[in-house]
Amino acid sequence: MKIANLLKTVVAALLLVGCGHNTTPEVMKFTNNLTPEEIAAGKFTPEVMWKMGRVGSQKLSPDGTLAVFTITYYNMASNKGKTDLYLMPAEGGEVVRLVRNASSPQWAGGRIYYMAGDGQVWSILPDGSDKVKVTDVEGIESFGIAPAENALFYTKKVHVVDINSSDVYADADKSKARIYDDLMVRHWDYWDEGNYSHIFVAPMDGGVVKEGKDIMEGEPWDAPLAPYFDAEEIAWNNAGTALAYTCKRLTGAAYAISTDSDIFIYDLATGLTRNICKEWGAMWGYDKYPVWSPDDTMIALRSMRRAGNESDKERLFVWFAKDGTMKDLTPNFDYNASNVVWEGNDTLYFIAPITATHQICRVGLDGSPVEVLTSGDHDINSFSKVGDKFLVHMNTIMKAPELYTLDKDWALCQATFINQQIYDNIPMGRCEKRWVKTTDGKQMLTWVILPPDFDESKKYPTLLYCQGGPQSVVSQFWSYRWNFQLMAAEGYVVVAPNRRGLPSFGQEWLDQISGDYSGQNIRDYLSAIDDVAREPWSDEERLGAVGASYGGYSVYYLAGHHEGRFKALISHCGIYNFESMYGHTEEMWFVNNDYGGAYWDEKNRTAQRSYRNSPHKDAAAWDTPILIFTGLKDYRIPYTQSLEAFTAAKLQGVPAKLVAFENEAHQVFKPQNSLVWNREFFGWLNKYLK
């Protein structure tokens, strides 16, 4: 049966055919199970937020008629989430739950492949029939099916290096030591125990795949890259004869100080691997996310120029198989490129952050300028494209992600309404765009989020939101960790400036922060909060500052330099002491780029813009109540930074509280931990600002 004809029978067939794991297929009517009390209160709370369905991976069928996507719901009592697979017409309409407890959907031919709850790859037809188990391999973490359905890859951890003492010494099997002779000993939220993510390939010949070939056998590096292990960094060619993947083939201190990853091509027939980036020339920064052209003669990739700068411009390059040359398609486009999709063999679509939004762009191989196709205050996070049909994953500060279509005029039309029950019963705060003049005479875009029942005749406590990264845009993002709507619902005006050091305003604006954490970007923060505080509805006697990561550093720095502006501060996993941070963290390229190098280097110790302005040096000036969050598994900005700051506050008699999550890292992800985080967050603000 052709896919185009399946659409008419999908719903009926699904009601008759068992298609999932422990499920009965059903046409979905989405509700978020709000209680009568929550509806009557009409207030957006952390409890309501955690009832929202989270729309995830989405893919259009090869003929563009159907869309498969995931939705994740969380259960607060079990402290877990569950992801299911859904199907709908590409233009929107009735949504059917296709498979329960499944993730990572992808199309190949007319079938949908997915990762099931048993940890194996399965496939199914879109009408819910012919469910087939594809793999029987322990430890699969991600997978990819060749478009020709003749091969697959999967990734899993492989033990390569003996680091645990029980591995090194066979007669000490109860010993619990790790033994290192080089960096990096830990990364993000885990200790290196000698296990690395490797890619395995296997033919698909109709049987269940029980074992593939490790194409990185014995090598001490990861593909995809740590710490995110994003399977989008691996791509089959359309013929299923070659695999392109991202890898950083460095170890030890060399790995810790460099971001130099490359694109490799593995040829299934010969078993040979080539590095197309180093073959072409000096590509020393991040080179990632290969995407094959339809005719398999080219690969599009994203490339950074500087090997020690994780926030350099992501340039869109194309590699030509014919002669091994590379071409930069965005040399005059001062923004990053992501989510690259081919149209034919001569045009590429991608997403770029532009003026604190994310838009779809287009560029040709002919050297013509980049076209920005969409517009509006929104974040397009990803999209699928088949022919002239687009399926877009989009959100704003006022609405969580949903799926949208694009018409011929590049206008967005909502296709899913997963959380409509919440919006129908609970008002959201209005988001306004504001341009603030900075101390050096530039214009800075600042989002101002107002309480849902905003009354300009009243005065509201106002929060300065300090962004982390430090180079991540304050766009129209929706966050389940730092949610502006929760702050607005609690009666706060939120001021979210795109201070110096953030993307989407050109590379010069972005680069300014490196080596100057306490400089112009801090003055930008103060310009934003001072501008809004002058409004008659903002109470300048009830101002607070909050932030995480670099934003947490900002709060620590402002604690010693805010000149009485703020009455309450909150820092989450912030940098407090530059010198100890340099030795505590793991990605040395980050501190080398942002601090200028090591603290023992005399030029860095005396540099006006670096170590001399570490927040701990001005702790004696602290006098403002401060709440500090940290995660004990955070090795990016280790929890010891938070302990130092808390100790400094308490020994000086400054009101302070420390909340340390035993099972969280740099962010708080677990549902019940999130409830605790939000209750402590708003408890602190309400105590000192209301």
- Interatomic CA distance for residues 131 and 113, integer angstroms: 10
Q: What percent of the chain has pLDDT over 70?
A: 96
- Interatomic CA distance for residues 275 and 253, integer angstroms: 22
Q: What is the tens place of the pLDDT at every residue in 470-524?
A: 999 999 999 999 999 999 999 999 999 999 999 999 999 999 998 899 999 999 9
- Interatomic CA distance for residues 154 and 141, integer angstroms: 7
Residue with tokens 């702050």: 487
How far is the CA of 397 from the CAs of 466, 479, 496, in angstroms? 16, 8, 11
Q: What percent of the chain has pLDDT over 90?
A: 93
- Interatomic CA distance for residues 613 and 140, integer angstroms: 46
Q: Which amino acid is at 128?
A: G
By DSSP bridging, strand 242-247 and strand 234-236 are antiparallel
Q: Which of 58, 33, 4, 51 is nearest to 416 (CA)?
A: 58
- Interatomic CA distance for residues 17 and 102, integer angstroms: 17
The pLDDT of residue 609: 76
Q: Is 170 exposed, middle or buried (0-12, 13-18, 19+ CB in 10 A)?
A: exposed
Which two tokens mark 1? 């049966």
Catalytic residues, which ones? 549, 634, 666
Which two tokens mark 241? 């004869």
- Cβ count near 230 (within 10 Å): 12
Query: Could you give all domains of the chain from N- to C-terminal order, each with its CATH number?
Result: 427-689 (3.40.50.1820)
Q: What is the tens place of the pLDDT at every residue in 68-83?
A: 999 999 999 999 999 9
Q: How far apart are the first and last CA of the chain?
A: 64
How far is the CA of 635 from the CAs of 160, 236, 485, 628, 660, in angstroms? 23, 34, 29, 17, 14
Mean pLDDT of 288-306: 98
User: Which pLDDT band holds residue 17 (cuts at 50, 70, 90)?
Assistant: very low
pLDDT at 662 exceeding the cut of 80: yes
Q: What is the tens place of the pLDDT at every residue in 39-98?
A: 999 999 999 999 999 999 999 999 999 999 999 999 999 999 999 999 999 999 999 999
- Sheet of strand 315-320, all strands in order from the earlier edge strand to the far edge: 287-292, 298-303, 315-320, 325-328
Mean pLDDT of all residues in the chain?
95
Cβ 241 vs Cβ 297: under 8 Å: no
CA 3 to chain centre: 33
- Interatomic CA distance for residues 619 and 27, integer angstroms: 59
- Sheet of strand 102-108, all strands in order from the earlier edge strand to the far edge: 102-108, 111-116, 121-124, 132-133
The pLDDT of residue 335: 97
Q: Is 144 exposed, middle or buried (0-12, 13-18, 19+ CB in 10 A)?
A: buried
Which two tokens mark 404? 């949208």
* 9-23, 115-129, 233-247, 545-559: the lowest-pLDDT one: 9-23
User: Which pLDDT band holds residue 4 (cuts at 50, 70, 90)?
Assistant: very low
The torsion angle over the Cα atoms of residues 50, 51, 57 and 58, rounded to 10 degrees, is -150
* 27-36, 222-231, 422-431, 559-568: the lowest-pLDDT one: 27-36
What are the backbone angles phi and psi of residue 425, rounded to the nearest 5°?
Answer: -115, -20
Q: Which of 518, 541, 540 is nearest to 530 (CA)?
A: 540
Mean pLDDT of 357-370: 97
Q: Where are the alpha helices (DSSP H) in 284-386?
A: none
The pLDDT of residue 604: 85
Cβ 402 vs Cβ 428: under 8 Å: no
What is the H or E stretch that residue 422 is in?
helix 420-425
pLDDT at 683 exceeding the cut of 50: yes
User: Which pLDDT band holds residue 25 (cuts at 50, 70, 90)?
Assistant: low
Cβ 98 vs Cβ 19: under 8 Å: yes
